[in-house]
Structure 1
C-alpha cells in the first residue's frame, strides 16, 4: 500500500512499549487477584464499580459501559459472581426489560477485603515507578487516548 501511514522509528518504539505495558500490567493484576481473592480482574472491576454507586446497583448496560465490557462478556462475569453470592440481578420495577446488577453485602465485603492488596499491586506496578509529574502526564495521555475521535 503506497498510501499506508507507517510508524516512524520513534512511534514504533513508543507503540511496542505501550503494547508491553498493556500486556504485562493486566496479566500481573489478574495473577494477584486470582491468587489473593479468587477473582478475575474483570470480576473485581465490576464489583468495585457497583460498590461506588448508590445502593450498590446499576443497570447492566450502564455497568458494561463503566467496566469497558460488552453486555455479553458482562453477563458471563456477572453469572460467575452470582454463583458465589456476590452479585444478584433484578428486573427494573419501572421497565421490566432492564436488568439491574446489585452488589450483595457479601460482595461488598469481598471488595473491601480485596481492595488493599489490589491497590498495593497497582502502586508497585505503576505509581512507585513514576514521579508526581509523570502521574500527571499519564493522566493527560490517557485522557487523550480515550477521547472519542
Structure 2
C-alpha cells in the first residue's frame, strides 16, 4: 500500500506490518484492547468506516468492541488496506498506536526491522473447526459459489 499523502507515520507503518504478519487471534485480541482504550469518538469513526467500507456491522454501536475488532481484523486481512486507506488519519493513528502498544502485540515485531514497507503476504489461515470442510463440501458448487447463487443477488 502506498503511503497516504506525504510520508507515512511510523506508528501506522508498524500497524500495517502487524496487520499483514500477526496471527489472526493475536491481532483480534490487540484490536479488542485498542478499541477499548481509544477515545469513543475515534472508535465511532472506526465503526462508521467498517460499516461503509466492509458493508458489515450495521447493527453495531461504538461500544460493541469485540465484534467491531473482529470485523476490522477480518476486513483488513481479506482486503489489505481497505481500512488503513479509509479511516481518517487522527482515528487511524490513535487505533494504530493502541494496537502496537497492546499486550497481545508484544513480541510480534521480529521481522519489522528488515521490512521494506511493502505489504507482505498475510499468513495462511486455516479453519480447523469440525464443521468447516463438511460445510464447504456440502454447500459449494463446481465454481465455488453457494448453490442457487448467481452473482450477489441470486440471479435477480
Higher relative CO (Cα under 8 Å, sequence separation at least 6) belongs to 2
Please give the range of the TM-score, normalised by the shorter of the 2 chains: 0.3 to 0.5
Structure ID, larger Rg: 1
Indicate the structure with greater strand content: 1
